[in-house]
Chain A
Amino acid sequence: DAGVIQSPRHEVTEMGQEVTLRCKLISGHNSLFWYRQTMMRGLELLIYFNNNVPIDDSGMPEDRFSAKMPNASFSTLKIQPSEPRDSAVYFCASSTIDGNQPQHFGDGTRLSIL
């Protein structure tokens, strides 16, 4: 079975540009989590969805960040406009709503905003 698939693996862009990160869930999973990892703050939740519905977006830094699940197997995390302080590794993870499965993580997107 394919794991969680994230793209791109690396993104380098200039401040002010729009950035879109993508995530494909493991087949059969219906919970989707976006986490961010930085040296200063460690691993922190941005947002998570159950059955395509956002459940907790309290970790989304500000209005520049938005996340969607256009279908049951795919999610995007968008930053517009991007700022240097958004530089981080962004991980997507998926699981099942019943919580009987641990979360499986994608390889992450390493984002650098210049």
Chain B
Amino acid sequence: AQSVSQHNHHVILSEAASLELGCNYSYGGTVNLFWYVQYPGQHLQLLLKYFSGDPLVKGIKGFEAEFIKSKFSFNLRKPSVQWSDTAEYFCAVNARGRALTFGSGTRLQVQP
């Protein structure tokens, strides 16, 4: 069975600080990897995805993630956060065409 582990449950940063959110997964086959963001009271929006190819993936709003196969990791990064990045971030994996397995989420709070 698939599982996803997000190490940080709650992260507080000041504006302009750099961000890295950890994500590790467990799965025996080829996976697709995703980061979704959920702003307060809203639905899940796709930040970025990895299907194959270049393991460094760039997404929307200046976010990027790196797939390290040997470490089963897909960490999310942003060099300089803004107050508007305050949200909950979910790492997710699936086998192609199958349902997503989500991590428990990381709540990011950016202080002005």
Shortest distance from the beta carbon of A44 to any chain B beta carbon, whole Å = 8
Report the 8 A-B pairs with minimum CB-CB distance, sorted nearest first. A99-B96, A99-B97, A43-B102, A105-B44, A45-B99, A107-B43, A105-B43, A48-B99
Number of residues in A with C-beta < 8 Å to the partner?
Answer: 25
CB of A102 within 8 A of CB of B97, answer no
Shortest distance from the beta carbon of B99 to any chain A beta carbon, whole Å = 4
Contact A31-B97, Cβ < 8 Å, known A42-B102, A102-B34: yes
Contact indicator per residue, chain A 66-102, by CB within 8 Å of chain B (1) or not (0): 0000000000000000000000000101011111101
Determine whether B100 belongs to the interface, using a CB cutoff of 8 Å to chain A: yes
Residues of B near A97 (CB, < 8 A) are 97
Shortest distance from the beta carbon of A69 to any chain B beta carbon, whole Å = 15
Shortest distance from the beta carbon of B56 to any chain A beta carbon, whole Å = 18
A-B contact count (CB 8 A): 53
CB of A56 within 8 A of CB of B34, answer no
Residues of B near A35 (CB, < 8 A) are 100
Point out residues on B near A: beta carbons under 8 Å: 32, 34, 36, 42-46, 49, 51, 90, 94-105
CB of B46 within 8 A of CB of A91, answer no
Residues of A near B90 (CB, < 8 A) are 43
Determine whether A112 belongs to the interface, using a CB cutoff of 8 Å to chain B: no
Contact A33-B100, Cβ < 8 Å, known A43-B90, A102-B34: yes
Bound Cα distance A24, B17 (Å): 40
CB of B98 within 8 A of CB of A99, answer yes
CB of A102 within 8 A of CB of B46, answer yes
Given contacts A91-B43, A99-B32, 16 further A-B contacts (CB under 8 A): A35-B100, A43-B100, A43-B102, A43-B105, A45-B101, A48-B99, A95-B97, A96-B97, A97-B97, A98-B96, A100-B51, A100-B96, A105-B43, A105-B44, A106-B43, A107-B42
Bound Cα distance A64, B106 (Å): 32
Would you list 23 pairs from A and B whose C-beta atoms are within 8 A, ordered by A residue? A33-B99, A33-B100, A35-B100, A42-B102, A42-B104, A42-B105, A43-B44, A43-B90, A43-B100, A43-B102, A43-B105, A45-B99, A93-B100, A95-B97, A97-B97, A98-B96, A99-B96, A99-B98, A102-B34, A102-B49, A105-B36, A106-B43, A108-B43
